[in-house]
Chains A and B, each alone.
Chain A
Amino acid sequence: MSEIIIQIDGRDVAAREGMTILEAAQTAGITIPTLCHHEKLEPYGACRICTVEIENRGRTRLVAACLYPVEKDLVVRTRSEKVDRIRKVILELLLAHAPEATELQVLAKEYGADKDRFEKESSFCILCGLCVRYCAEVKKKHAVGFVDRGTGREISFIPEIASRECWNCKECFPLCPTEALQAAYVLTEALISSSPSFKLEAEE
C-alpha cells in the first residue's frame, strides 16, 4: 500500500491508500467526533457528526470523515464555522430524543448545542445502528434490525432470534451512545411476544 500525505488542520499526515479521513486523523491523534462509528464495523455514515470540510482540486466540500477515502493533495479542516454549525444542529436534533445521554451532552458542551432547542420526543434511541450492525456484522445473528422508514424508523428485536440469542449476549448494550434504554425496552417487548404465556396475557 502506498503512502499518501494529506493535510489535516494544517498538519501533514501520512496515510495509507484505502484509509478514510477519520482513520488518518486518528493515527495522527486528531479528534473528529463520531456517534455511529465503531472500528469493528463497516463505516455507516448515518450520524454525520463527523462531517469535515475538504478541499481538493480547488473545490471545497463537506463530507463524512468516516467514509471519505484519503487522496493525494487532500486538505481537511476538522473544524470550521460551517462544520461546527452542522455539528451543533445535529446534536440539538438528537438531544430532542435523548436529552440525558452523556456522550451527547459532552459534545453539546463543546459545540454549544442547546438541548432544549427542539421539542422533546424522548425515544432515547438516536438510530445510530450500532446494536443492529454489531449483531449482524460481528455476532452474525441479526437479532435486532430496523423497521419502517423516514421519521417512523425504529429498532426492533426479532422475537424468535432474540429469545434464543440475546439473554446470554447483550454485547450491543454497552455500545449504545445513549442509555440503551430503548434497546432494553424493545428487547423486552420482543421476548414477551415470543413467549406463548405472555402472548396470551397481552391479547386479553
Chain B
Amino acid sequence: MARISSVAELEELRKDILSKREPGKPWIAFCGGIGCLCLGNDRVISAFAEEIRKQSLEAKVGLRMTGCHGFCEKGPSVVIYPEEVCYLEVTPEDVPEIIAQTVVGKKVIDRLVYTDPKTGEKAAHLFEIPFYRNQTRFLIGNNPRINPRSIDDYLAAGGYSALAKALFEMSPEQVLAEIKKANLRGRGGGGFPAGLKWETARNAPGEEKYVIVNAHEGEPGAFMDRALFTGNPHCVLEGLIIGAYAIGAHQGFIYTRHDNPQLRENIDIALAQAKEYGLLGENILGSGFNFNVEVHLDIGIFVSGESSALMRSIEGKAPEPRPKYIRTSVSGIWEKPSNLNNVETWANVPMIINKGSAWYAGIGTERSKGTKLISLSGKVCNTGVVEVPLGTPLKEIVYGIGGGIPNGKKLKAVHFGGPMGGSLPESLIDTPLDFDALAKLGAPMGAGAMLVIDEDTCMVDLARHFLEFLAGESCGKCVPCREGIRQMLKILTRITKGKGKEGDLELLEELAGVTREAALCALGRSAPNPFLSTLKYFRDEYEAHIKEKRCPALSCKELSASGGAKKNE
C-alpha cells in the first residue's frame, strides 16, 4: 500500500480498485455478525471454500466475509452477488447445491429463500424481503457488500470522499455549521445535538482537545453499534476524523468492550490500514491536518459507558461518573475539552458532509433527523438490526419489519432503552420513533434497544429485572442510586413473590422520585424509569399482584392465575 498525499491520488486509487473488479463476477457474502457465527456460519463458510476448491472455481467466484447483514433471526445469512440473492438459515449441506444452482447456474433455490409466513410469498433477493425492504439502510446497508478488514472495499463504496471534501473544500467552521444545520442528535441515549457539543469543545479554552468514540454499547438488548462498527469500521473512523478536524482535535480515542475480540480486531486493522494510506496520522491526504487514534478497552462494567466514567477509565482510573458540574466537552480527559459521541453518531457524519445538511434534514421529523439503528429483539418474529428514518411509527417496526408477534400471541408493550428506559403499551403503538415523542411518554429511545413484549411477560417482573441488573451495575458511589435501587428492588421482589402490601406503590414512587432527583449521574437518575413507566401504563398489573396476589401474565411463579399466593409445599 502506498501513502496517499492528495485528493487526486485518492481518486486515482479508487479508480484503480474499481477497475480491478469485474462487475459480472459472482461473489458470495457471508454474514460474519456474532448472531450468524453463533448459528454456525463458520461451518457454512468452510463448506463454501471447500466446494469452490473442489470445483476449481477460485478464479471465477469471490468469497467475502462481511459484517452483520441485519436479519439475525434467520441466520446464517448468505448473499450471492451481483444478483443479491439472499439465502437464509443456510447449512453446510446446502452449499454444493447453492454453488451448482445459483452461483454457476444462476437459478434461485426456492427452499432457501425467505417465505412470508402469512402470505406464503417468496422473496429471493435481499431487497425484496420485507424485513429489509421496509427499512432505509443508509448506515448499515453497506454491511453485506464490505469486507470490514479491507479498506479497499470501503474505498470502492466511495469511502473517505467525505473526509477529502471536508479537508480540502471546507473550513472547520463550515463542517461544524453543516452538522449543526443537519441537526444531528446524539445516538447514544441523550439525543443531545452533536453540533452544539462539537461547538462547545471547539470553543473551550486550551490547545489540546480530544474526540472519542463511545463504542461501549452496554445497554442490554442493544447490538446495533457493534454490528455497524464491526461491519464497517472505516465509516465510523471517517466520521471521527472529520469531527476532529471541525473541533480542532489531534488525538482521538475509541473506547470499546474487552469482550468483543472481533470488533477489536476489525478496529485495529482499520486503524492500521488508514494509517498506511495516510488517512490517519501526520499530514492527512497532504492537508496538513494531523490526527491519531488510540483504542481503549473497558473492564466489563455497565457504567463505564457513561461519558465522564468512560473518560476516567481512559485516564486509567476506576470508571466512576465524575461528580463535577462541568461538561466533559469543556473539561474531560485530563481536564482537556473532550467531545464524546457514540458509534452511530460518528457514522452519520460522512453522509452529512457528502450529501449536505439540507438532504439530511429532509429525513425524519421536525426535531429528529436522519435514520436510526434499532436492535429489535424480544417477542417479535424477525429479530435483528434495523434502520429506519426517525419518525417511523413503532407499529411499522414491530409489524412491517418485525413481522409481528410469534405464536399467535398478542403484543403487550415495547420497551426502549433497557434498564434506564421505559415501556409503552400496545395502545401507543402508532407513536413515531422520535427522541422527544418517546421521552415525553416516559420511554426515552436510549441507544436504540427495542424490546417487544407479548402478553406472557409480567410488567412488574420486567421492572424488577431491570433493577436487579442495575443493583449490580451502578458504581455504588452515591446514596440515592445505590440505596434507592437496593430498596426498590427489595420491594418489587416482594411484590412478585405475592408478599406485596398496601402502601408499597407509594413507597416505590417516593424512592423513585428521590433517586431520580438526587442521584449523581444519568444512570441513577434514569434507574427508576422502567418502574415509573410500567406503573404509569400497567398499574392494574401492580395492583393485581399486591391486592389479589395474582399475576395476570401468569409469569410470576409464586403467584397463581386466579389469585392468592401458592402455598409452600
| Chain A residues close to B by CB (< 8 Å) | 43-49, 51, 62-64, 67-69, 82, 85-86, 89-90, 93-94, 96, 118-119, 126-127, 129, 146, 148-153
Q: CA of A152 to CA of B487 in the docked complex: distance in angstroms?
A: 13
Q: CA of A31 to CA of B472 in the docked complex: distance in angstroms?
A: 35
Known: A48-B480, A67-B323, A67-B325. A150 touches B475 (CB 8 A): yes
- A120: shortest Cβ distance to chain B, in Å? 12
In the complex, chain A residues whose CB is within 8 Å of the CB of B485 = 150-151
| A153/B325 in contact, CB under 8 A | no
- A4: shortest Cβ distance to chain B, in Å? 15
Q: List 23 A-B contacts (CB under 8 A).
A: A46-B478, A46-B520, A48-B478, A48-B480, A49-B479, A62-B517, A64-B520, A67-B324, A67-B325, A85-B513, A89-B514, A90-B518, A93-B484, A93-B486, A94-B479, A129-B477, A149-B472, A149-B474, A150-B473, A150-B485, A151-B472, A151-B482, A151-B485
Q: Nearest A residue to B324 by beta-carbon distance?
A: A67
In the complex, chain B residues whose CB is within 8 Å of the CB of A126 = 479
Contact of A150 among B318, B472, B479, B480 (CB under 8 A): B472
- A71: shortest Cβ distance to chain B, in Å? 10
Q: CA of A51 to CA of B478 in the docked complex: distance in angstroms?
A: 12
- Asked if B172 lies at the interface with its beta carbon under 8 angstroms from chain A, I say no
In the complex, chain B residues whose CB is within 8 Å of the CB of A151 = 471-472, 474, 476, 482, 485-486, 489
Q: Nearest A residue to B325 by beta-carbon distance?
A: A68
| A152/B479 in contact, CB under 8 A | no
In the complex, chain A residues whose CB is within 8 Å of the CB of B282 = none
Contact of A94 among B303, B318, B476, B483 (CB under 8 A): B483
Q: CA of A64 to CA of B481 in the docked complex: distance in angstroms?
A: 14
Q: CA of A146 to CA of B474 in the docked complex: distance in angstroms?
A: 14
Known pairs A89-B511, A146-B476 / 9 extra A-B pairs, C-beta < 8 Å: A45-B520, A46-B520, A62-B518, A67-B323, A93-B480, A127-B477, A150-B470, A152-B472, A153-B475
- Asked if B490 lies at the interface with its beta carbon under 8 angstroms from chain A, I say yes
- B205: shortest Cβ distance to chain A, in Å? 16
Contact of A63 among B325, B479, B510 (CB under 8 A): B325
Residue with the highest number of chain A CB atoms closer than 10 Å, among B474, B476, B513: B476
| A149/B475 in contact, CB under 8 A | yes
Q: CA of A185 to CA of B479 in the docked complex: distance in angstroms?
A: 22
In the complex, chain B residues whose CB is within 8 Å of the CB of A129 = 477
Q: Nearest B residue to A153 by beta-carbon distance?
A: B476
Q: Mark B91-122, 1 if CB is under 8 A from A, else 0.
A: 00000000000000000000000000000000
Q: Which of B313-339 contact A (CB under 8 A)?
A: 318, 323-325
Q: CA of A129 to CA of B303 in the docked complex: distance in angstroms?
A: 19
| A150/B474 in contact, CB under 8 A | yes
Q: Nearest B residue to A45 by beta-carbon distance?
A: B323
Q: CA of A93 to CA of B323 in the docked complex: distance in angstroms?
A: 21
- A34: shortest Cβ distance to chain B, in Å? 12
Main secondary structure of the interface of B (DSSP, over half): helix
Q: Which of B117-164 contact A (CB under 8 A)?
A: none
Q: Nearest A residue to B319 by beta-carbon distance?
A: A149
- Asked if B519 lies at the interface with its beta carbon under 8 angstroms from chain A, I say yes
Q: CA of A82 to CA of B324 in the docked complex: distance in angstroms?
A: 22
| A46/B483 in contact, CB under 8 A | no
Q: Mark B487-513, 1 if CB is under 8 A from A, else 0.
A: 101100000000000000000001101
Q: Mark B454-483, 1 if CB is under 8 A from A, else 0.
A: 000000000000000011111111111011
- A59: shortest Cβ distance to chain B, in Å? 13
Known: A64-B323, A68-B325, A69-B325. A148 touches B514 (CB 8 A): no
In the complex, chain B residues whose CB is within 8 Å of the CB of A93 = 479-480, 483-484, 486-487
Known: A44-B323, A149-B301. A127 touches B476 (CB 8 A): yes
Q: CA of A145 to CA of B534 in the docked complex: distance in angstroms?
A: 38
| B476/A150 in contact, CB under 8 A | yes
| B518/A48 in contact, CB under 8 A | yes
- B22: shortest Cβ distance to chain A, in Å? 55
Q: CA of A127 to CA of B478 in the docked complex: distance in angstroms?
A: 9
- B320: shortest Cβ distance to chain A, in Å? 9
| B325/A46 in contact, CB under 8 A | no
- A124: shortest Cβ distance to chain B, in Å? 14
Q: CA of A48 to CA of B524 in the docked complex: distance in angstroms?
A: 12
- B521: shortest Cβ distance to chain A, in Å? 10
Q: Nearest A residue to B489 by beta-carbon distance?
A: A151
- B291: shortest Cβ distance to chain A, in Å? 33
| B323/A127 in contact, CB under 8 A | no
In the complex, chain B residues whose CB is within 8 Å of the CB of A149 = 301, 303, 472-476
Contact of A85 among B471, B483, B514 (CB under 8 A): B514
In the complex, chain A residues whose CB is within 8 Å of the CB of B476 = 127, 146, 148-153
In the complex, chain A residues whose CB is within 8 Å of the CB of B475 = 149-150, 153
Q: CA of A199 to CA of B278 in the docked complex: distance in angstroms?
A: 59
Known: A86-B514, A89-B514. A153 touches B482 (CB 8 A): yes
| B514/A118 in contact, CB under 8 A | no
Residue with the highest number of chain B CB atoms closer than 10 Å, among A48, A62, A69: A48
- A74: shortest Cβ distance to chain B, in Å? 12
Q: Nearest B residue to A69 by beta-carbon distance?
A: B325
In the complex, chain B residues whose CB is within 8 Å of the CB of A152 = 472, 476
In the complex, chain B residues whose CB is within 8 Å of the CB of A43 = 323
Q: CA of A186 to CA of B303 in the docked complex: distance in angstroms?
A: 27
Residue with the highest number of chain A CB atoms closer than 10 Å, among B301, B471, B473, B479: B479
Q: Nearest A residue to B483 by beta-carbon distance?
A: A93
In the complex, chain A residues whose CB is within 8 Å of the CB of B517 = 51, 62, 82, 86
Residue with the highest number of chain B CB atoms closer than 10 Å, among A44, A49, A118, A129: A118
In the complex, chain A residues whose CB is within 8 Å of the CB of B323 = 43-46, 64, 67
In the complex, chain A residues whose CB is within 8 Å of the CB of B473 = 149-150
Contact of B487 among A62, A86, A118 (CB under 8 A): A118
Of all A-B residue pairs in the complex, the 9 with the closest CB atoms, nearest first, are: A45-B323, A153-B476, A93-B483, A89-B514, A150-B474, A48-B518, A151-B471, A151-B486, A149-B476
- B307: shortest Cβ distance to chain A, in Å? 16
| B472/A48 in contact, CB under 8 A | no
